[in-house]
Chain A
Amino acid sequence: MADARARIIDLVLIDHDPLADQEWLERLADLCLRYTPTVALDHPHGLILDTTGCDHLLGGEAALLADIERRFARLGMTVALAYAATAEGARALARYSGGPAEDEAAAIRRLPVAALELGDKPSLALRRAGLKTVGDIARRPLSAIAARFGEAAVTALRRILGEADSAMAPRVVVPPLSVERCFAEPMARTETMLEILAELAGEAFALLEERKHGGRRFEALFFRTDGLVRRLAVETGSPSRDVPLLMRLIRERIEALADPLDPGFGFDLIRLNVPLSEPLAGSQLRLEGGRVAEAEVMALVERLSTRLGRGRIRRFAPHDTHIPEQAEFSLPALDLPPATPWPSTEPGEPPLRPLHLFDPPQRIEVIGAEVPDGPPARFRWRRSLHDVARYEGPERIADEWWRRRPVAYETPTPGGEAGEMTTRHSLGEDGDRTRDYYRVEDRHGRRFWIFRHGFYNARRPMPDWFLHGLFG
């Protein structure tokens, strides 16, 4: 580098930034989505497009390549392009011959053995054996190559020659339904874009109606002339074919964007994908009063989830376990409500489970607890002292031994005292650490759910106490 600096005085040095490269490559991959939905990254600096059935849209392979070259040149990129029957073949041609060839099979055979990309050692070995080009190897019996250079060499050879197919991992899953509109002139006004999007939505919904489906997830892609692609995704709680509803959600999404939908020099392609659709009856049924309110609430959930995030509005779901902090979970309200019933309450009983639960439980300092199974007389939580006036308990909740993993067993530490416990506060995993719950009420009437973690014994004369919940 010192040498380089000596030769060119005003040499600009920039650190290699693999992350930025990766980001740029992904942007370019997005750009290529306009040609075909199956675009795969070829790390670290290549893109592979499967244009099967797409190239005729631009007038053939040559025209497609010309269009790609033109667009990339506008971005200041110099690209090496090639096409072949397989991804490996195309990559080899692009890397080692520098362009598309008339007779691709012959061109591949002329490539040096390095094009097989087997690594330095096998390549060197092949060259030492006098095999300089791919064609040289292809002429040998494959069994000999396999015996000498391994299975990988044969696979690579077959792939590059187009005899074996290799799976491609496209960056985005091909959506089942996609409609798009291409403009001769770039568009810059957001309002116009949204109008066009509404038209596209109409087209998409007509297609969905034929399939008797309604969309659950929608994705709008805006292709900017300079290669940037903006992606807006919205989701509905129930399958829908309602254009105004979709447009309202998209508007919400645009409003919630941290950076506005900057058109730059304009967009020249808009695409609407429907990645997820579900069956929906041919026409909406007339809904009764009760259902209208439900539908309104669902619309509210959709709006808020679109604006604030999918997991923000949640509904509860029971889970069949008696470990209190796992007995229920919440899931996004957009998902279908679970069918499992909630545990019923017994008439005449006070509430036995708290309204609020601390996860993890909060440690409390306990003064004067009865041994072996009494509640504390008083305890300190959040720096204030609570005198226990009434209590009920203990309600013993042991861990679920049928789900316990073998590692959770008590293991004597080598050389140490037998049965030295590993302090494990992830409750419900440790066999010895049964919880004794008490419903206690302090002098002022505040009701708490506290528990003692484990029993009194010789090893642990003072078990830990925790506050787990607050009653209403």
Chain B
Amino acid sequence: MSDSTFALAQLRQSLERLEPRRSPVGAEVFSLGHAALDAALGGGLARGRLHEIFAERDEAGSCAGFAALLGLRAGAGAGAGAGAGSGAGSRGQLLWLRTEAAQQQGGRLQATGLGELGLDPARVLLGLMPDEPALLLAAAEATRCAGLGVLLVECWGSMRGFDLTASRRLMLAAESSGVTVLVLRILAQLQFRPSAADTRWRVAAAPSTALDADAPGAPMFDLELLRRRAGHPAGPWRVEWNRDDKSFREPAEIAPLSRPLLPVVPRRTAQALRRAG
């Protein structure tokens, strides 16, 4: 009898060791800069956790852009001395992992494009993996590296290897190392994909606020918080990226959703003329 109680106690102890100690208050957070969004999240997104971002195939570009911007808010990829977000400190490198197939599908990642969003290309590393197992292996390895700021894993399709166990493993590693892990799930079926992620987002592009001469403006996203470990789903929100402040914000005005398909007079902006000349 005493044997079994002893065994039981031991089992409990070992289970306790296995169980992640998640403090109810949560980890250090980074704000997104958007008031309503931050309020709904209770201050911001948790650093050193796993966050998943879902998107349709057509939204792959916006999804990648949003993830990169989240990474920037988390303090990675910012130029020297320009730490965005709270307590960015020195952890400034962003590692972007993707497979060669993803590069075929979604195009080559451009450092100038990252720069146009406000990141410092010199602080971004790109990991181009031959296949999905290598991608997961590299992700597991990188999550354990405490010197890294943000790890971004781009997954296309269902990604059989990235199951509940794999995500939990990533989550545990991220909690101990403090690396914020952003997982892009492009074309993934949401309902069949359990994971240990802290939050789950759906991202889509939204019509931007037009500039002069109806030119496309700053990046605009439709966000939806699908799931959250310590709260309810929320949203949707429409947020605009402000590169100069390196923060998200409420769109300045509601943009008209459509315009005549063929403008009567060909329009050109002054900028375009300047550049064309």
Is A327 an interface position by the 8 A CB rule? yes
B269→A293 contact, CB < 8 A: no
A-B contact pairs, 6 of them (CB 8 A): A342-B115, A347-B243, A392-B216, A392-B269, A445-B208, A447-B205
Cβ distance B98 to chain A, nearest Cβ, rounded Å: 10
Contacts of A304 in B (CB 8 A): 127, 138, 141-142
Cβ distance A64 to chain B, nearest Cβ, rounded Å: 45
Is A440 an interface position by the 8 A CB rule? yes
A295-B147, A327-B112, A342-B112 as given contacts; A471 in contact with B61, CB under 8 Å: yes
B142→A471 contact, CB < 8 A: no
Interface hit among A48-56, A140-148, A200-208, A348-356: A348-356
Chain B interface, >50% SS class? mixed
Nearest chain-A residue to B90 (Cβ)? Answer: A290
Is A373 an interface position by the 8 A CB rule? yes
Is B213 an interface position by the 8 A CB rule? yes
1/0 per residue A294-328: CB within 8 Å of B?
11110111011001110111111010000000011
Instruction: Specify which of B62, B115, B126, B261 is in contact with A446 (CB 8 Å cutoff).
Output: B62
B205→A445 contact, CB < 8 A: yes
Report the Cα distance A392→B257, complex, angstroms: 17
Q: How many residues does chain B have at the interface if contact means C-beta atoms less than 8 Å apart?
A: 79
B90→A297 contact, CB < 8 A: no
18 additional contacts, CB 8 Å, given A293-B90, A441-B216, A445-B222? A300-B141, A300-B147, A304-B141, A313-B125, A316-B121, A318-B111, A327-B112, A330-B111, A353-B113, A354-B61, A389-B207, A391-B214, A393-B272, A394-B276, A444-B58, A446-B58, A471-B219, A472-B65
A441-B207, A444-B205, A446-B62 as given contacts; A395 in contact with B272, CB under 8 Å: yes
Interface residues of B (CB under 8 A from A): 58-62, 64-66, 68-69, 89-93, 95, 106-118, 120-122, 124-130, 134, 137-138, 141-142, 145-148, 204-208, 210-211, 213-220, 222, 243-244, 257-259, 261-263, 266, 268-269, 271-272, 275-276
Cβ distance A15 to chain B, nearest Cβ, rounded Å: 35
Chain A interface, >50% SS class? mixed
Cβ distance B122 to chain A, nearest Cβ, rounded Å: 7
Is A359 an interface position by the 8 A CB rule? yes
Contacts of A384 in B (CB 8 A): 58
A396→B276 contact, CB < 8 A: yes
Report the Cα distance A443→B257, complex, angstroms: 7
Cβ distance B239 to chain A, nearest Cβ, rounded Å: 12
A351-B243, A357-B107 as given contacts; A444 in contact with B207, CB under 8 Å: yes
